Amino acid sequence: MYKIISGKEVSEAVKLRVSDEVKELKENGIEPCLAVILVGDDPASRVYVNNKKKACEFCGIRSLEYVLPAETKEEELIELVEKLNNDKSVNGILCQLPLPKHLDEKKVLNLIKPEKDVDAFHPENVGHIMIGDFNFLPCTPAGIMEMLRYENIDLDGKNCVVIGRSNIVGKPMAMLMLKENATVTICHSRTKNLKEVVAGADVIVAAVGRPNFVTADMVKDGAVIIDVGINRMDDGKLCGDVDFEACKEKASYITPVPGGVGPMTIATLMQNTITATRIQNGKE
């Protein structure tokens, strides 16, 4: 019998914990502040930014929003990032991706001060993750680890397969699992015998961006399935990278889409903002 891991439930627990930390900081005269930059009018990005704003309100974090037109020049965006870098009242800076094609994402993200990089995309923060000595973690992988801890799922000695090798999810996810003494395999478009590799996994993290990519014949009985994918179908419905209905009967734990990993990403962003605030104010 499978159990659904509810991202809504776990994220509420994280946000309540963050709320308590915010109250403690405010009692010491410190107001955590997150600045979010949105360039252009991508509908999905707008939804994400709105959800982040709501989470900030729930947790008591001051939220700043900078919405720039799609035709914004790179020097204008850089000027804004530098301004926020130098503003001591701003603890976290997040530049919503994707940026319009004429803007250099790498250049912009690398400009954000590492201590304000609440997405943990700066090379300095990525390096800390590689050696297991970090202040911030990318929000989605960190949210997944929080879900596993919430359900007391121990990774020690487990075979974990991550499908997808992105810098945002796949690679850092593998590093976090490795830190918990799992044996980790990263699969991608060039992986041979992918079905057989995935079928040997105790824990599967699907982050490939293809609807219903993981099918029941790729899942062994009792596997834990974490679905990072969020894909909009022709009928407007959302679905993940895992064929949920077919795979759930073989799983011990499984995350739904929507309502699984998604809410955890935002909750972890709130936690990262508090961590940044503590570090910048000598409270760590």
pLDDT tens-digit profile of 150-161? 999 999 999 999
Question: 29-113 and 139-262 share one CATH topology?
Answer: yes
Domain residue spans of the chain:
29-113, 139-262
pLDDT of residue 219: 98
State residue 224's pLDDT score. 98
The pLDDT of residue 1 is above 90: no
Crossing angle of the two packed helices 170-179 and 139-150, in degrees rounded to 10: 40
- Confirm if 207 and 173 have CB atoms less than 8 A apart: yes
- Residue 132: count other Cβ atoms within 10 Å of its Cβ: 10
Q: In this predicted structure, what is the pLDDT of residue 88? A: 97
pLDDT of residue 161: 98
Most confident residue range from 17-21, 47-51, 237-241: 17-21
- Residues 152-173 have a mean pLDDT of 97
Residue 257, class by beta-carbon neighbours within 10 Å (0-12 exposed, 13-18 middle, 19+ buried)?
buried
- Are residues 138 and 120 in contact, defined by beta-carbon separation less than 8 angstroms? yes
In the CATH hierarchy, which top-level class contains the domain 139-262? alpha beta
pLDDT of residue 232: 86
Write out pLDDT tens, residues 246-265. 999 999 999 999 999 999 99
Q: Using a pLDDT cut of 90, give the percent of the chain over it.
A: 91
Superfamily name with CATH number, domain 29-113: Leucine Dehydrogenase, chain A, domain 1 (3.40.50.10860)
- Catalytic residues, by residue number, are 52, 96, 119
pLDDT of residue 128: 95
Q: Is 181 exposed, middle or buried (0-12, 13-18, 19+ CB in 10 A)?
A: exposed
The SS3 of residue 58 is helix
pLDDT average, residue stretch 217-226: 98
pTM: 0.94
Q: Is the pLDDT of residue 81 over 90?
A: yes
Neighbours of 84 (CB within 10 A): 23
In 10 A of CB 158, how many CB atoms?
A: 18
Compute the distance between CA of residue 252 and CA of residue 225 in angstroms, rounded to an integer.
8
Query: Is the pLDDT reported for residue 284 higher than 80?
Result: no
Average pLDDT, the chain: 96
The span from the CA of 173 to the CA of 142, in Å, is 8
Residues 49, 44: Cα–Cα separation, whole Å: 9
Per-residue pLDDT, 44: 84
Separation between Cα atoms, residue 11 and residue 211, nearest integer Å: 24
